[in-house]
Amino acid sequence: MMVCEEYEGGMVVGKQNIYDDDAFFDSYLALRDNPTSANEIEERPAFFSMLPDIRGKRILDLGCGAGENCRAFAAQGARMVVGIDISKKMIQQATTHEVNPDVMFRVGAMEDIAQIEGKFHVVASSMAIHYVEDFSKLLMDVHNLLESDGIFLFSQEHPFTTAPIDGSKWIRDDENHIDHYRLRDYMMGGFRSVQWLDHKVEKYHRTFSEIINGIVAAGFIIEEIMEPIASEATRERLPSYQKTIHKPNFLLVRARKR
């Protein structure tokens, strides 16, 4: 196992975030360990279905968390995987596992990736993009880090989820059954501070048009977009997922560098 302290173009650590709070960190890990969480049921299967052939490739994972995806990339034959995350606790968690010697971890902010030297065949990011304020800069930095025809694959909270300024809410009928999702503030992009896991979490809302037009303007060709929901069989087994036919939880985009 190697910690990416030696990786050329070392990261500048940005501002700390909620994931270094002890109580939040423990709650988050418990959530991710839940086999019926939305990440495991919907986001992760979709994310890996959109991944290109990475055998022999160099991968950069933005917001790598505890390193689950980095280890999966290595298991699929990636030649080198670099995972960065702003949370020291997440990187410490990532480095406690036995991993391929070509998997490297580093504490660092996504806002600072322009300082990384070298090129990658794939830049991936699972559920971290909505924490970045300057989306256009991030896209340009990713574009510059990719090899020709390289792939940028990311997932984020669905824009319908990030839209309401006071947090997402479902409306119930007189019998307390979920009736519909309350969508508001959609065209009011920008900063959001919402309650999640009993903590205030800061993120940024962008409309579909801002996301798609930003990707194109940065020099990418969009190859695939997914808004995954649980299968019908899963929705019958886990009724809490029935509401996703009204509003999906996630947006995933795969784009190729022009």
The confidence score (pLDDT) of residue 248 equals 97
CATH superfamily of 2-160+205-257: Vaccinia Virus protein VP39 (3.40.50.150)
The rounded distance, in Å, linking the Cα atoms of 90 and 92 is 5
E strands present in the chain: 2-3, 58-62, 80-85, 103-107, 120-126, 146-157, 170-172, 178-181, 190-196, 199-205, 220-226, 250-257
The confidence score (pLDDT) of residue 212 equals 98
The confidence score (pLDDT) of residue 176 equals 93
List C-alpha distances in Å: 92 to 61, 75, 125, 217: 16, 21, 19, 36
- State the maximum Cα–Cα separation within the chain, in Å, rounded to a whole number: 60
The confidence score (pLDDT) of residue 6 equals 29
Torsion of the alpha carbons at 89, 163, 36 and 48, rounded to the nearest 10: -80
The rounded distance, in Å, linking the Cα atoms of 82 and 87 is 15
| Domain ranges for the chain | 2-160+205-257
The confidence score (pLDDT) of residue 18 equals 65
Question: Which residues, given as ranges, of the chain have pLDDT below 50?
Answer: 1-16
Total-model pTM:
0.89
The confidence score (pLDDT) of residue 13 equals 33
The confidence score (pLDDT) of residue 23 equals 74
